[in-house]
Amino acid sequence: MRVPCSARTGRTGRRRSTGRRAGRGRSQEAPAGSRSRPPASRPVRPGSCWPSTRSSGWRDVATDEITILVTTDQLEPVHVVDDWQALDATQALNAPGPGAVVAPTSRTLMAALQPGARIAVYLGDDPQAWHSGPLEAPPTRKRSVDGEDAGPGMLTIRWATHELWFGARRLYPDPAVAWAAQTTEQWSVTNVNAETVLRNLATAHAGPGALSYRRVPRLALAAANSPLVGVQVTEASRMEWVSDVMRRVAVAGGNLRWRIRHVDRDLLFAASARRDLSASVRFSFDLDNLLGYDTDPEAPTLTAALVAGQGEGTDRPLRERAVASPWGRFEDIVDRGDTIDPVLLDAAGDEALAAGGETANLAADAVETPGPGQPLFGRDFDLNDLVTVELDDGVPLVDVVTAARLQAPGDGTHRLGFTIGTPDAPSDEMTRAVRDLYRRIGGWETR
């Protein structure tokens, strides 16, 4: 019989120290010479306990399954965060994911949390960090004479995954030349494989191919896919954020995923193709791995993009990109005054149509649950994969996994949840599914 945490400790989510751990409730320094994580023999927290109240999706976790490290910017471990009280970390698709943990204050932990420090979260014995990235700001501290913040007080540590580096770099027209020496008008590629473009952008602006002062320590390119993933793309930009351009290339190249993985003491950039796992990975209320979903349909704001290119008066090239819609025709001008290339002009029109298109605005919240045949994140599916969500009355929706969120309150349980669908992104299939759902609901009301 499992006993609620409150019955064993007197306070839900807080444990008494047993004295079996080095430091008796203090964070530990990483072992000298450690390359990634402390050895398996490191002291661990006392046995897990079952929470007295938890919503669906919470389950037991082995007490040494989650390891949180503080490292230098060279990814050298300097501190093991022990006795943490709450962990919340999210992986995001083609974007940085936030992370936060609350832990007791100690001098050694404060000394490790210097500007440039990294946080790495590991699950089990996997040499790849589940979540890793630089501190976003110095930790906040709360201390009081009693309550949860009594004693030395509590630190809240916040970081974001390494994908943030591409949102901290402007796309130089010529990345091999310093900013003050730029003479090229814009960066551009024409009919180049999307994976190749992404890899070149990564290395030229933050990796080994970048100017020395723009390089992210330990960042390198993972081996390219064979054959390369994605289709040929044509793209141009002038000093946008690198991450914005990479997201456009990923979509235009066939809905690719790009990410930075923290493996041992290396950061590896890689791109991967979207997989259609809709036949094997399903989420539904009946399977107990779907928590809920939200819909907020919107009519289109643009169905005819009137694109104007570079030039003056009648010399300015004009292109029109339009879609038929039962809502009617809605026009707007799209200004691309930096190019006369019809491929780029059409692409700008298509992008505007996508942004102003009819949206279903559906996002489903799912969780990983144990049991035979249940899909497991990282083994059976991952971010950017297509999976099936069964809505009311058996309406199936195939959509993409856009986020994974690990939550662990420090009481011996954790939950791994997922967001399926992008609420603000138009999707023909999603729109049709929501229309079908609304029609069926209307049918119920008239029976």
Is the pLDDT confidence value at 402 over 90?
yes
Is the pLDDT confidence value at 323 over 70?
yes
- The dihedral region occupied by 190, where left means phi > 0, alpha psi between -120 and 50, and beta the remainder, is beta
Confidence of residue 73 (pLDDT cuts 50, 70, 90): very high
Mean per-residue pLDDT, 415-439: 61
Mean per-residue pLDDT, 85-114: 94
Is the pLDDT confidence value at 414 over 90?
no
Burial class of residue 200, CB neighbours in 10 A (0-12, 13-18, 19+) = middle
How far apart are the C-alpha atoms of 59 and 369, rounded to whole Å? Answer: 8
pLDDT value at position 422?
65
* Residues 235-284: tens digit of each pLDDT: 999 899 999 999 999 999 999 999 999 999 999 999 999 999 999 999 99
Name the residue among 334, 337, 348, 332 with its Cα closest to residue 311.
Answer: 337
pLDDT value at position 34?
41
> Side chain identity at 41, as an amino acid letter?
S
Confidence of residue 28 (pLDDT cuts 50, 70, 90): very low
* Six token digits for residue 293: 């979903």
Secondary structure of 213-254 in the HEC alphabet?
HHCCCCEEECCCCCCCCCCEEEEEECCCEHHHHHHHHHHHCC
Is the pLDDT confidence value at 22 over 60?
no
How far apart are the C-alpha atoms of 192 and 184, rounded to whole Å? Answer: 19
Query: Could you tell me the CA-to-CA distances from 300 to 153, 316, 331, 357 in Å, in that order?
Result: 51, 28, 11, 4
pLDDT value at position 152?
81
The ranges assigned to domains in the chain are 5-160, 167-272, 282-297+360-445, 304-355
Mean per-residue pLDDT, 125-151: 86
pLDDT value at position 387?
95
Say which residue, 9 or 353, is predicted with more confidence: 353
Mean per-residue pLDDT, 172-186: 95
Confidence of residue 307 (pLDDT cuts 50, 70, 90): very high
Say which residue, 24 or 402, is predicted with more confidence: 402
pLDDT value at position 169?
97
How far apart are the C-alpha atoms of 12 and 8, rounded to whole Å? Answer: 9
| Mode of pairing for the β-strands spanning 131-134 and 118-123 | antiparallel
Is the pLDDT confidence value at 377 over 90?
yes
* Residues 196-242: tens digit of each pLDDT: 999 999 999 999 999 999 999 999 999 999 999 999 999 999 899 99
Say which residue, 410 or 311, is predicted with more confidence: 311
| Mode of pairing for the β-strands spanning 362-367 and 413-420 | antiparallel
Is the pLDDT confidence value at 45 over 50?
no
pLDDT value at position 441?
47
Mean per-residue pLDDT, 18-36: 37
What sign does the dihedral 401-403-406-407 (CA atoms) show? negative
pTM (two decimals): 0.75
Secondary structure of the chain in the HEC alphabet?
CCCEHHHHHCCCCCCCCCCCCCCCCCCECCCCCCCCCCCCCCCCCCCCCECCCCCCCCEECCCCCEEEEEECCCCCEEEECCCCCEEEEEEECCECCEEEEEEECCHHHHHHCCCCCEEEEEECCCCECCEEEEECCCCEEECCCCHHHCCCCEEEEEEECHHHHHHCCECCCCCCCCHHHCCCCCEEEEEEEHHHHHHHHHHHHCCCCCCHHHCCCCEEECCCCCCCCCCEEEEEECCCEHHHHHHHHHHHCCCCEEEEEEECCEEEEEEECCCECCCCCEECCCCCCEEEEEECCECCCCCEEEEECCCCHHHCCEEEEECCCCCCCCEEEEECCCCCCHHHHHHHHHHHHHHCCCECCEEEEEECCCCCCCCCECCCECCCCEEEEECHHHCEEEEEEEEEEEEECCCCEEEEEEEECCCCCCCHHHHHHHHHHHHHHHHHHCC
